[in-house]
Structure 1
Amino acid sequence: MTSVAEYIEALPDHQRALGEQLEQLLTAGLPAAAARLWHSHPVWMVGKQPIAGFKAFPQYITLLLWQGQRIKDESKLLSPSGSAEMAVLKLSSLDELDSELLASWLSQLARL
């Protein structure tokens, strides 16, 4: 697998629509970032700095926001992850994805 499109195409049927929607929202919400596979999953980066991405697991897709702990999340849906400023959101279906909320988060990340 060498591209984000190939990663999404290889997702199981129950995750593909979610992967496609995340790709569209991340690309639109982070216009200065370039999408690429990094550590085998899609990540949007500015230069060598990862901003956001996602990784598929058998039962869910995890949205990854590298500086997610620095943004305002009134929804309280983001969970801190790791020792840095990473925050994540586990999504089991497309119905769980709030496009407007994600756009707000991405807008905040783009300004950091």
Structure 2
Amino acid sequence: MRSVPDDILGYQARLDDESRAVCDVLLRVIEGELPDADRKVWHAHPVWFFEGNPVVGYDRLKASVRLLFWSGRAFDEPGLTPEGSFQAAEARYTDPGQIDSAALRRWLGKARELQWNYRDIRRNRGLVPLRGVGA
């Protein structure tokens, strides 16, 4: 496996023990499933990108860790709930034992294939999919 960028390692290091345990599992699975994605800390949390578009990331909330898929509503998958007003969907965890690794791997596979074009969202009003979903 390629080395994790320093900014993501720094993010992990600043977490409390409970959140770090969840984020360590998420990091390991995401890195394993999306080895060709660009990744960095973006808007203060780790995010993975394809072609400049965010596809998945996670962040520490007050009471849980949120795993966010920018195009997650298009996945039509149990375990993800709509987030925000566009195509995002999320799962929240308070313990690493709550993470269904098989479902997470399936969601990551869909994240690779079903991407809305967030990079050009202002120009396209978010209506043009990058790939998958009607592309």
Deviations 1:27-75 (A, max 9, x none): 11222212200001000011320000001023210000000001131xx
Confirm or deny: 8 A CA contact 1:43 1:54 kept in the other structure: yes
Number of residue-to-residue matches in the alignment:
109
Point out the structure with max Rg over C-alpha.
Answer: 2
In the other structure, the counterpart of 2:32 is 28
Q: Distance in 2 between matches of 1:32 and 1:49?
A: 13
- State TM-score, norm by structure 2: 0.76
Q: Secondary structure at the match of 1:3?
A: helix
2:17 & 2:112 partners in 1: Cα distance?
A: 31
Residue 96 of structure 1 corresponds to 98
1:30 is aligned with what amino acid? L
Which of 11, 18, 21 is matched with 2:22 structurally? 18
Q: TM-score, length-normalised on structure 1?
A: 0.91
Stretches of 4+ moved more than 4 A in 1?
none
Match of 2:58 in 1: 54
Partner residue in 2 for 1:64: 68
**RMSD, aligned α-carbons:** 1.2
* 1:3 equivalent in structure 2: 7
